[in-house]
A and B are shown apart, each in its own frame.
Chain A
Amino acid sequence: MMALQRLFNNLATSKLNTPKLLSNFVPRCSYGLNNVGSDDPDVEIIEKKIVEEKTSLAMRAYLQRATQYNSFMQQQTHEYNVGKRHLANMMGVDPETFTQSDIDVAIDYLFPSGLYDPKARPLMKPPSEVFPSKKDAEFDESGRPFHVFFYTGKPNFYLILHNIATKLSELNKFEDSLRKNNILPDPDKKLTSLGSQWLSKEDLEKLTVEKLSDHEYKNFVIAIERLLKHPCSYKYGEFISDYQKPMISTKAIIESAPVEYTKDGRAFVTVKDCPRKDARADVTVYYPGTGKLSINGKGIEFFDDIQAREQILFPLLFTDMVDKVDIHATVRGGGVSGKAGAIRFGISWSLRSFVDPETVERMRIAGLLQKDYRRRERKKPGQARARRKFTWKKR
């Protein structure tokens, strides 16, 4: 509200004082007056007036937009809170302790949706989550931008590139000075990108609050990699790590499942509910073994087709464990290839405990340790199948 009042004040004053202002100082002081200090007492008075009067068109538009947005959000938040209370009363719960998760459950219960896509289902979320937030003003009241790189169009992004370039030249100077004193940069301290990856394009966009093109992202990766590969890059390790994120998924894969032991001392690992399509498998791998396989009480004959059999064989062949383990699997649901895929995943997941870490890494790269999240695609109305269209006939 304060901003609004000021805006109207400004408008009023500028309207009144415009002729005077134009006649006096336009040629000399069109912009930048608030940053320029002046010793002259006469000029100082006039400067104050101008600051009051001069508000850029962009700033005015921004303020208008901001006011609109704030009042809109206020309204939405109010409605959300009222709605929440109503919902709590409907569900017969105390409105004061009614949380967002309770709201989700209530909405799911009260408005059951037959629609498939989660985005199409009814929801009730805080307005801040539903409506995207707006960027703050990037310029002052006179229209002069705060940021040095404002005119590049993507100031935050180019600032990062600028910082990288500056750091790189500093490192070059540092290396030169070391070499002058006959000191070589310590190879042990050298940074590596092992176990981590660069921020993805999406992450970087979130960080800079700017939309980036693929080309720009590529430039960023090239620059930061050049910095990382510099022999003295350890000096700016912290700076580099700001743009790295650890490979969390890898860590989960390398940590193998707990090993149990049978009465006769054989190690075994059980993995429950291995998924693939609609099939679920419980797989137990015994080590050491002799290559026995049992699937729902049958051997490999459980699968008639060779493709499914090869699916089972693949992880064993890959780790060279065909005749070194015994496998006991029960599988339910799904079709043939789903069943085979579920067992394959179970076998690979439990084999991690019995092979060395290098092989686990190889298995990961081969995709054996990756859950397959793909599901059957739904049939669409007006089409024969998921994608296939009816035969088109002119008439």
Chain B
Amino acid sequence: MRAYRRLCGYATAAVKQETQYQIPTAARTEKKNPVDHDSQDVSKFYTIDPKTVSNIFQTGGLPKPFTEQTNMFAETALMIRQPALEVINSLKSTDFQKPAVRYLLYGQTGSGKSLSLAHILHYAYSSKFILYHIPYVPIWLKYDRKEVNWSSSKNGMADIPLIAAQWLKHFVHQNGALLNELNLTTSQDYVWSQRETTPQGTTLNELVTHGINRAKYACDCMDILLNELKAHCSNNRCKMLVAIDGFNAFFNEKTDLKTEDRVKVTPQQITMVQTGLSAVLSDWNNGAIIMVTSPRAALNTKRESHLPIYLIGRQGFEHIDPFIPVMVPELSTVEFNNMLDYYEEKRWLQKPGGRKELEFLTSKLPADLMARCAPL
């Protein structure tokens, strides 16, 4: 009985405290379409409606901790930040008759590169770009026990058929409707084997479906798909956005993968990587290329700096040169306070105060801040 009373006492105290303490509300913008976002909206939140989220990001694209958080908050709210806005603005004003422009997002671990990319992807999706989106390269190359086979079409190269098929599913999920609308077709016959051929004039959707069903050819299908899309873009039939997160993993020295005959393969030996590298070549127009380098995508031994030249090396630099580097910095003071307001509004942060402390401990890195506020 006494324990119960004590509990009640605590509860009333908590209620009293709550009545005195006014929960702040985060600054939000009403513009749901990223096409409308401008410098007025910097550091404000905007909500992506759940349908769009499932259309773009259901099979990858948002970092896992952030996805968990959106489940908890029952909304996907992104903060509009300068780097993403910069890219979106320049996409708006690009002359698409010129070769595709390359952007490279870089920054410290946890500074919000992936979410900036998500913002840009949302913009591209709503502006009817075809998304050639690789959610995170290291999930291709890390973690052993993947089926790795020697490629039948390219000598000395290795395929990861199941992962490629998975990616094709991701591609169809993002672009299936748009491809149907545009009615893009193949420009030539593709002979997979003696029995299986894809004749000229097949829709790209069917091509991809074939790749998914016959996983053996999924890697080749990825390559063909890329070439077809490049050709269509150059012929002004469509627009395409190539987005690769964890781009620097292409230039790592090794992978965790082994073929069945126990040969270790390097990233450069993998057909999907070569496809990814050819996607960032600027030999097409009517589109843009966005790469994200991340220290976490690098090997454990190579994470001292977040600067791109350190992460991708000289070889990588020559491959993507020229490009526009876009630094994703830590939060500004306004952004930091708005972020904490948002957390307090969502009761992710239960009590006010201690902001100075949080600022010092997380050095205003949003991912750190999110993790730090979880137990508070």
Contacts and interface: CB of A to CB of B under 8 A. Distances in A.
16 contacts: A291-B360, A299-B363, A300-B360, A300-B361, A300-B363, A301-B109, A301-B363, A301-B365, A306-B361, A306-B372, A309-B361, A310-B361, A313-B357, A313-B360, A317-B357, A322-B357
Contacts of A310: 361
Residue from B108, B360, B362, B372 with most neighbouring chain A CB atoms (10 Å)? B360
Interface in B361-375: 361-363, 365, 372
Given A301-B108, A306-B372, A323 B361 contact: no
For the complex of A and B, list the 7 residue pairs with the smallest distance between their C-beta atoms, beginning with the closest: A300-B363, A299-B363, A309-B361, A322-B356, A313-B360, A322-B360, A301-B363
A323 B356 contact: yes
Interface string A302-320: 0000100110010011000
Given A306-B372, A313-B357, 16 more contacts: A291-B360, A293-B360, A300-B361, A300-B362, A300-B363, A301-B108, A301-B109, A301-B363, A301-B365, A309-B361, A310-B361, A313-B361, A316-B360, A317-B357, A322-B357, A322-B360
- Which of A293, A301, A309, A317: most chain B Cβ within 10 A? A301
B371 to A, nearest CB: 9
Contacts of A323: 356
A323 B356 CA distance: 8
A85 B97 CA distance: 98
A211 B372 CA distance: 56
Interface of A: 291, 293, 299-301, 306, 309-310, 313, 316-317, 322-323
Contacts of A316: 360
Interface in B331-376: 356-357, 360-363, 365, 372
Contacts of A322: 356-357, 360
Contacts of A317: 357
Contacts of B109: 301
Q: Is the interface of B mostly helix, strand, loop or mixed?
A: helix
Interface of A is mostly: helix
A81 B356 CA distance: 68
B10 to A, nearest CB: 27
B370 to A, nearest CB: 13
Contacts of B360: 291, 293, 300, 309, 313, 316, 322
A294 to B, nearest CB: 11
Nearest to A303: B361
Interface of B: 108-109, 356-357, 360-363, 365, 372
Contacts of B362: 300
A287 to B, nearest CB: 17
Contacts of A293: 360
Nearest to B356: A322
Nearest to A310: B361
A340 to B, nearest CB: 13
Contacts of A301: 108-109, 363, 365
Contacts of A309: 360-361
Nearest to B330: A299
A313 B362 CA distance: 11
A316 B359 CA distance: 13
Contacts of B372: 306
B280 to A, nearest CB: 29
A293 B363 CA distance: 10
Contacts of B356: 322-323
A291 B355 CA distance: 14
A310 B109 CA distance: 20
A383 B173 CA distance: 60
A317 B361 CA distance: 11
A301 B110 CA distance: 11
Contacts of A300: 360-363
A300 B108 CA distance: 12
A388 B109 CA distance: 38
A299 B362 CA distance: 10
A301 B363 CA distance: 8
Contacts of B357: 313, 317, 322
B310 to A, nearest CB: 13
A313 B360 CA distance: 7
Query: Which one of A299, A316, A323 has the greatest number of beta carbons of chain B within 10 Å?
Result: A299
A317 B357 CA distance: 8
A322 B362 CA distance: 13
A323 B363 CA distance: 12
A86 to B, nearest CB: 58
Contacts of A299: 363
Contacts of A313: 357, 360-361
B301 to A, nearest CB: 15
A325 B363 CA distance: 15
B101 to A, nearest CB: 31
A313 B361 CA distance: 7
A299 B360 CA distance: 10
A323 B109 CA distance: 24
Nearest to B361: A309
A309 B108 CA distance: 17
A317 B362 CA distance: 15
A323 B372 CA distance: 20
Contacts of B361: 300, 306, 309-310, 313
Contacts of B363: 299-301
A299 B110 CA distance: 14
B363 to A, nearest CB: 5
A306 B369 CA distance: 12
B349 to A, nearest CB: 16
Residue of B109, B362, B363 with most partner-chain A CB within 10 A: B363
A293 B362 CA distance: 12
A321 to B, nearest CB: 11
A36 to B, nearest CB: 78
A263 to B, nearest CB: 28
A204 to B, nearest CB: 47
A231 B357 CA distance: 49
Nearest to B371: A306
B260 to A, nearest CB: 37
B186 to A, nearest CB: 49
Nearest to B365: A301
B267 to A, nearest CB: 26
Contacts of A291: 360
Contacts of B108: 301
A173 B365 CA distance: 73
A301 B362 CA distance: 8
Nearest to A323: B356
A344 to B, nearest CB: 13
A299 B359 CA distance: 12
A291 B362 CA distance: 13
Contacts of B365: 301
